[in-house]
C-alpha cells in the first residue's frame, strides 16, 4: 500500500535514447514533484505540478518534460539522454502542511 | 558526536551515544523546516519538523532545535542505534510554491 510509487526502480540505457519514469501517489495530495539526486547525494528540485499546472520549472534542459494525466500521476519524460543525466530521480507529493512524501527513487544510468 | 555545519559530511558515533547533526539554512523568510532520513537505496523519509514560531520540538528519541537568529537547525538523536545509520537532510520551505530546498546532507555512521 505504497503512498508514492515510481517505476522503474532501475533504468539502464544508451546515450541518445528517450525514456520515461512513472509516478503515482494515493495520498490525495494536490502537488507532486520531481527531484534529482546526484552522486554526492544533493537533492535538487526539477519540477512541481499543482492540479495539473506546472508551477515550478527550475533551470533544467528542455529535454526533460513532466506530464501529468491527472492529480495522482506525474510522469517524467527525458529525450536524447546524455551521460550527465545519470542520477537517482525521486518523485514526491505534498499536502497542505508542506511535508514531502517521497517515492523510492529511480536510478537512471546512461551509457 | 557532533557535526559542525555542512563542512563535515560524515559523522561517526558510538552506538548508544547521542548524535547531533547541524544545518545552516539560507533564507531568513523560511517558515517551515524538516529533517529527513535517507537509508541506502531508499527515498528520504520524514523524521521531524518544526515551524518558525517554535525553537524546539521533540519526537521519539529525536529533538529538533531551531535558532532563527543565526539561521541554524540541529537534529539530536538520543541513544543512537545501528538502524540510525543513514544520510540526514535538513530542508526548508521558503514559502510560496517552491517546495522544499534541501541541504547537502550528513552521513551518520554508527560504530559498534
The number of beta carbons lying within 10 Å of the beta carbon of residue A49 is 21
Mean pLDDT of A100-104: 95
Q: What is the DSSP letter of A84?
A: G
Which triple of cell numbers denotes residue B107?
A: 552521513
Q: Give the C-alpha separation, B8 to B22, whole Å.
A: 10
Q: Domain A4-110 is classified in which CATH homologous superfamily?
A: Immunoglobulins (2.60.40.10)
Q: Do B105 and A98 touch (CB under 8 A)?
A: no
A53 pLDDT band, cuts 50/70/90, is confident
pLDDT value, residue B10: 92
Q: Where are the domains of chain B?
A: 10-111
Three-state secondary-structure class, residue A24:
strand
Q: Where are the domains of chain A?
A: 4-110
Q: Check whether B2 has a pLDDT greater than 60.
A: no
Span B18-50, pLDDT tens digits: 999 999 998 888 999 999 999 999 999 999 999
Q: How far is CA A50 from the centre of its chain?
A: 14
Topology of B10-111 in CATH?
Immunoglobulin-like (2.60.40)
Q: Does B62 touch chain A (CB under 8 A)?
A: no
Mean pLDDT of A12-26: 97
pLDDT value, residue A54: 82
Residues in chain B within 8 Å Cβ distance of A41: 38, 87, 104-105, 107
pLDDT value, residue B54: 96
Q: Do B97 and A31 touch (CB under 8 A)?
A: yes
More confident residue, B61 or A51: B61
Residue with cell 525521486: A90
Span A61-85, pLDDT tens digits: 999 999 999 989 999 999 999 999 9
Amino acid at each position: 500500500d505504497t503512498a508514492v510509487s515510481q517505476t522503474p526502480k532501475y533504468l539502464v540505457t544508451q546515450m541518445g535514447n528517450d525514456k520515461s519514469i512513472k509516478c503515482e501517489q494515493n495520498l490525495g495530495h494536490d502537488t507532486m514533484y520531481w527531484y534529482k539526486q546526484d552522486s554526492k547525494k544533493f537533492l535538487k528540485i526539477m519540477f512541481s505540478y499543482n492540479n495539473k499546472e506546472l508551477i515550478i520549472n527550475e533551470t533544467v534542459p528542455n529535454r526533460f518534460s513532466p506530464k501529468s494525466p491527472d492529480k495522482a500521476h506525474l510522469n517524467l519524460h527525458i529525450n536524447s539522454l546524455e551521460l550527465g543525466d545519470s542520477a537517482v530521480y525521486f518523485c514526491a507529493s505534498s499536502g497542505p502542511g508542506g511535508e514531502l512524501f517521497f517515492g523510492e527513487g529511480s536510478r537512471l544510468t546512461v551509457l | 558526536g557532533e557535526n559542525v555545519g555542512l563542512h563535515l559530511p560524515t559523522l561517526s558515533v558510538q552506538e548508544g551515544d547521542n548524535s547531533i547533526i547541524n544545518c545552516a539554512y539560507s533564507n531568513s523568510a523560511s517558515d517551515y523546516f524538516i529533517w529527513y532520513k535517507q537509508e541506502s537505496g531508499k527515498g528520504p523519509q520524514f523524521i521531524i519538523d518544526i515551524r518558525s514560531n517554535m525553537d524546539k520540538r521533540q519526537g521519539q528519541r529525536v529533538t529538533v532545535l531551531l535558532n532563527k537568529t543565526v539561521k541554524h537547525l540541529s537534529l539530536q538523536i538520543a541513544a543512537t542505534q545501528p538502524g540510525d545509520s543513514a544520510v540526514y537532510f535538513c530542508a526548508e520551505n521558503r514559502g510560496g510554491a517552491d517546495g522544499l530546498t534541501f541541504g547537502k546532507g550528513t552521513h551518520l555512521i554508527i560504530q559498534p
